[in-house]
Amino acid sequence: MNCSRIASALLLAAGIIFTASAQTTGAQSNPDKPAPPPEAKSFDLSAIDKTADPCTDFYQYSCGNWNKANPIPADQVRWARSFSLLGERNRYLLWQELDAASKDPKTPLQKKFGDYYAACMNTDLVEQKGLEPLKPALDRIAALNDPHKLATLAGELAAHGEPAPFFRFGVSQDEKDSSKQIATVGQSGLSLPDRDYYLVDRFAKIRDKYKDHLTKMFTLAGDTPDAAAKEADSVLRIETALAKASMSRVAMRDPEARYHIYTVADFQKLTPDFDFSIYFKDVKIGSFDTLNVTTPDFFKSLNGLITSEPVDAWKSYLRWHTIHAVASNLPKAYFDENFAFFGKVLAGQKEPTPRWKQCTQMTDMALGEAVGQDWVKQNFPPQAKAKMDQLVAPLEKSLGDDIKTLPWMSDETKKAAQEKLSLIRNKIGYPEKWRSYAALEVKRDDLIGNVRHDAIFQRNYNLSKLGKPVNEKEWGMTPPTVNAYYSPSMNDINFPAGILQPPFFDASIDPAVNFGGIGVVIGHEMTHGFDDEGSKYDGKGNLREWQTAEDRKKFVERTDCEVAEYSGFETSPAHDGMTAQNLNGKLTLGENTADNGGLRIAYLALLDTLAAEHKSIDDKIDGYTEKQRYFLGFAQVWCENQTDQSARQRALTDPHSTGKWRVNGAVQNFDEFGKAFSCTKGQPMYPTNSCRVW
Residue 209, domain CATH: 1.10.1380.10
Distance of CA 392 to the CA centre of its chain: 23
Evaluate the CA torsion angle 536, 541, 544, 546 in order and state its sign: negative
Rounded to whole angstroms, how far apart are CA atoms 355 and 28? Answer: 7
Rounded to whole angstroms, how far apart are CA atoms 327 and 189? Answer: 17
User: Directed axis angle between helix 659-667 and helix 626-636, to 10°?
Assistant: 150
Residue where one domain finishes, among candidates 298, 329, 360: 329
76 shares a domain with 136: no
Q: For 336, which DSSP code? A: H
Whether residue 606 is predicted with pLDDT greater than 50 in this model: the reply is yes
CA distances (Å), origin 359, targets 87, 88, 106, 455? 15, 14, 20, 16
CA distances (Å), origin 404, targets 392, 543, 589, 694? 19, 23, 23, 11
488 shares a domain with 401: yes
139 shares a domain with 73: no
Q: Does residue 589 lie in a domain region?
A: yes
Q: Does residue 234 lie in a domain region?
A: yes
Whether residue 5 is predicted with pLDDT greater than 80 in this model: the reply is no
CA distances (Å), origin 470, targets 177, 178, 294, 421? 11, 8, 20, 20
273-292 CB burial, b ≥16 within 10 A, e <16: ebbbebbbebbebeeeeebb
Q: Are 252 and 246 in contact (CB under 8 A)?
A: no
Q: What is the reported pLDDT for 15?
A: 65
Rounded to whole angstroms, how far apart are CA atoms 98 and 465? Answer: 30
Which of the four pLDDT bands, split at 50, 70 and 90, describes residue 511? very high
Q: What is the reported pLDDT for 390?
A: 83
Coil, strand, or helix at residue 291? strand
- For residue 687, how many other CB atoms are within 10 A of its CB? 16
| Average pLDDT rounded to a whole number, residues 457-464 | 98
Q: Provide the number of structural domains found in the chain.
A: 2
Which of the four pLDDT bands, split at 50, 70 and 90, describes residue 3? very low
Q: Does residue 526 lie in a domain region?
A: yes
Whether residue 28 is predicted with pLDDT greater than 90 in this model: the reply is no
Burial (CB < 10 A; 0-12, 13-18, 19+), residue 430, is buried
- For residue 34, how many other CB atoms are within 10 A of its CB? 16
Whether residue 127 is predicted with pLDDT greater than 70 in this model: the reply is yes
Q: What is the reported pLDDT for 21?
A: 62
Per annotation, catalytic residue among 525, 538, 562, 565:
525
Whether residue 173 is predicted with pLDDT greater than 90 in this model: the reply is yes
Q: For 444, which DSSP code? A: T
Chain segment 574-589, per-residue pLDDT in tens: 887 788 999 999 999 9
Burial (CB < 10 A; 0-12, 13-18, 19+), residue 492, is buried
CATH assignment at residue 509: 3.40.390.10
Whether residue 7 is predicted with pLDDT greater than 60 in this model: the reply is no
Q: Does residue 658 lie in a domain region?
A: yes
147 shares a domain with 72: no
Residue where one domain finishes, among candidates 305, 329, 353: 329
428 shares a domain with 279: no
Q: For 641, which DSSP code? A: E
Q: Is the pTM of the predicted complex or chain greater than 0.75?
A: yes
Coil, strand, or helix at residue 283? coil
Q: Which domain holds residue 567?
A: 50-81+380-433+477-676
Whether residue 562 is predicted with pLDDT greater than 80 in this model: the reply is yes
Q: What is the reported pLDDT for 579?
A: 87
| Average pLDDT rounded to a whole number, residues 364-386 | 91
Closest CA to 664 of 579, 574, 571: 571
Pick the residue with more confidence: 382 or 65?
A: 65
Whether residue 13 is predicted with pLDDT greater than 60 in this model: the reply is no
Q: What percent of the chain has pLDDT over 90?
A: 90
Q: Does residue 256 lie in a domain region?
A: yes
Q: Does residue 38 lie in a domain region?
A: no
Q: Are 418 and 433 in contact (CB under 8 A)?
A: no
Minimum mean pLDDT range among 29-33, 173-177, 240-244, 434-438 = 29-33
396 flagged as catalytic: no
Q: What is the reported pLDDT for 666?
A: 98
239 shares a domain with 160: yes
Pick the residue with more confidence: 22 or 592?
A: 592
136 shares a domain with 75: no
* Residue 385 identity: K
Per the prediction, the chain carries an average pLDDT of 94
Q: Does residue 453 lie in a domain region?
A: no
Peptide bond into 503 cis (omega under 30): yes
642 shares a domain with 552: yes
Coil, strand, or helix at residue 617? coil
Minimum mean pLDDT range among 246-255, 388-397, 452-461, 661-670 = 388-397
Coil, strand, or helix at residue 450? helix
Q: Are 319 and 141 in contact (CB under 8 A)?
A: yes
Whether residue 690 is predicted with pLDDT greater than 70 in this model: the reply is yes
Rounded to whole angstroms, how far apart are CA atoms 477 and 369? Answer: 9
Per annotation, catalytic residue among 595, 626, 640, 654:
595
Minimum mean pLDDT range among 40-49, 215-224, 354-363, 627-636 = 40-49
| Average pLDDT rounded to a whole number, residues 89-107 | 97
623 shares a domain with 546: yes
Q: Which residues contact 561 (CB under 8 A, 6 or more apart)?
A: 691
407 shares a domain with 263: no
Helix (H) or strand (E) holding 572: strand 570-572
Rounded to whole angstroms, how far apart are CA atoms 118 and 112? Answer: 10
Q: Which residues contact 49 (CB under 8 A, 6 or more apart)?
A: 60, 61, 62, 63, 64, 65, 68
Q: What percent of the chain has pLDDT over 70?
A: 96
168 shares a domain with 279: yes
Backbone φ and ψ for 537, nearest 5 degrees, come out as -110, 145
Minimum mean pLDDT range among 4-8, 267-271, 358-362 = 4-8
Whether residue 24 is predicted with pLDDT greater than 50 in this model: the reply is no
Q: Does residue 459 lie in a domain region?
A: no
| Average pLDDT rounded to a whole number, residues 287-294 | 98
642 shares a domain with 503: yes
Q: Are 314 and 150 in contact (CB under 8 A)?
A: yes
Q: What is the reported pLDDT for 444?
A: 98
Backbone φ and ψ for 220, nearest 5 degrees, come out as -60, -35
Rounded to whole angstroms, how far apart are CA atoms 670 and 474? Answer: 36
538 flagged as catalytic: no
Minimum mean pLDDT range among 180-194, 410-424, 552-566, 577-591 = 577-591
Whether residue 133 is predicted with pLDDT greater than 60 in this model: the reply is yes
Evaluate the CA torsion angle 322, 182, 3, 240 in order and state its sign: positive
- For residue 579, how many other CB atoms are within 10 A of its CB? 11
Whether residue 2 is predicted with pLDDT greater than 90 in this model: the reply is no
CA distances (Å), origin 105, targets 29, 72, 248? 24, 36, 47
Q: Is 348 left (phi over 0), alpha (psi -120 to 50) or beta?
A: left
Length of the chain: 694
Rounded to whole angstroms, how far apart are CA atoms 219 and 334? Answer: 10
Rounded to whole angstroms, how far apart are CA atoms 309 and 297? Answer: 18
Q: What is the reported pLDDT for 14?
A: 52
Residue where one domain finishes, among candidates 329, 353, 369: 329
